[in-house]
Amino acid sequence: MLLSIALLGGLLSVLTFIHFAIDWIFQSHAEAMVKHNNPKIRAKHCLIYTAGFIPFFLLCHFSWVEWLVALNILFWSHFVEDTYLPVFLWAKYIRKPPEMQLDPKGGFIQFVQTPLGKILMIAIDQIIHILFLFPIAYMILQRLFVEVG
């Protein structure tokens, strides 16, 4: 069991590194500023992001079903998360900053303009992105166990 957790952590660290490298390096400032409300720009970004994982997935010897699952998890989770709706919902229902009490949408914009709001928005956004890497890491681990026997 401990070995499985260690292997899962190693796979997750590789996937997280790929996530940060592709998500941040291959995105212009202009794209980052408009992707949340422009589905075409967001889809382009998500395609580039998803494609960035393909070289590592080639090493995993996925079946076509595993390819389909992994690529869809990456694309669609990123597409939804980059709207910042999950971060907004976290702020509204869990964090509950005073700025959002009377006007949730306008208050959210105010909240993320503060240093703490910006830090928390980025942190929660990244935590959610990384959570979606767990099922992929688990799938790779299962594939590894099948290959090793």
Residue type, 121: M
Token couple for 125: 């956004």
Q: How many domains does the chain have?
A: 1
In whole angstroms, what is the distance from residue 25 CA to residue 52 CA?
Answer: 11
Instruction: Using a cut of 0.95, tell me whether the model's pTM lies above it.
Output: no
At residue 20, what is the residue type?
F
Which candidate, 113, 115, 49, 109, places its Cα nearest to that of 84?
109
Q: How far apart are CA 85 and CA 81, in angstroms?
A: 7
Give backbone dihedrals phi and psi of 7, rounded to 5 degrees, phi first. -65, -40
**In which domain, by residue range, is 120 found?**
2-148
pLDDT of 148: 73
Q: Measuring CA to CA, which residue among 148, 146, 85, 145 is closest to residue 121?
A: 85
Query: Is residue 129 a contact partner of residue 23, using CB atoms and an 8 Å limit?
Result: yes
Those residues whose C-beta lies under 8 Å from the C-beta of residue 101, and which sit 6 or more positions away, are: 107
Residue for token pair 């980059």:
82
Residue by residue, pLDDT tens for the chain (149 residues) are 888 899 999 999 999 999 999 999 999 999 999 999 999 999 999 999 999 999 999 999 999 999 999 999 999 999 999 999 999 999 999 999 999 999 999 999 999 999 999 999 999 999 999 999 999 999 999 988 877 76
pLDDT at 149: 66
